[in-house]
Structure 1
Amino acid sequence: WIHCHTPATDASGPVKATMDTLFEHFQGMKLPAQVRVSLACCLNMCGAVHCSDIAILGYHRKPPMIEDSHLDKMCEIPLAVAACPTAAVKPKKVELEDGTEVKSVEVKNERCMY
């Protein structure tokens, strides 16, 4: 897969849980040497987890869910489409419950790498 710049995992939860567990070891200098802790958001491992002492890797088993009402306010749709290495994300227009038409995307599950 090609390298992407879009995180697929919300890193704050796993990082907070890991540091809560390790904090006393860092604070009390109980470790024999410097320790490198890293998190990669997907299997591409952009977070350099392969050269860390403690590595956390996000593993996704399902295609992403799309919230049509929020998507066009949160990201640029052409960039979201271009970031998919397997061309599983396509742009589309969606009519919301209140009758407004918004730009969104759809995911072709059979093409999605997850």
Structure 2
Amino acid sequence: MFWGLSLAWDAGIRVVEIECDSIVAVDLNNNPTGANHPLSNVINCCKLKIHGDWNCVVHHIYREMNTAADALAAMCADLAPGIQIFDLPPTSLIETLAADAIGTSRPRLLPL
């Protein structure tokens, strides 16, 4: 989240909506966090970015609505370490992005 916010700011983007399928990450960034939290430095850096001089919101979405991010995360094992920036979406992601753009619904799988 921190690096994504940094890249958006550096690119001059001043309206950002972060959709995250980790309710824990959303809660940590949207609520007070104790100084003793093991990730307090990273969380505070994210909060400084989020509450900077721009319009930035962070909210939770379910994994089924975040399939493009999940597909990119799955690709990480095949990429070089570090931040990867794509000028065009990877071919394997085009169908997922098209479905997302038209609002294709996905079933929510719940544990029994």
TM-score between both structures, scaled by the size of structure 2: 0.23
- Select the structure of larger CA radius of gyration: 1
Q: Which has the higher helix share?
A: 2
Structure of higher RCO (CA pairs closer than 8 Å, 6+ residues apart): 2
TM-score between both structures, scaled by the size of structure 1: 0.22
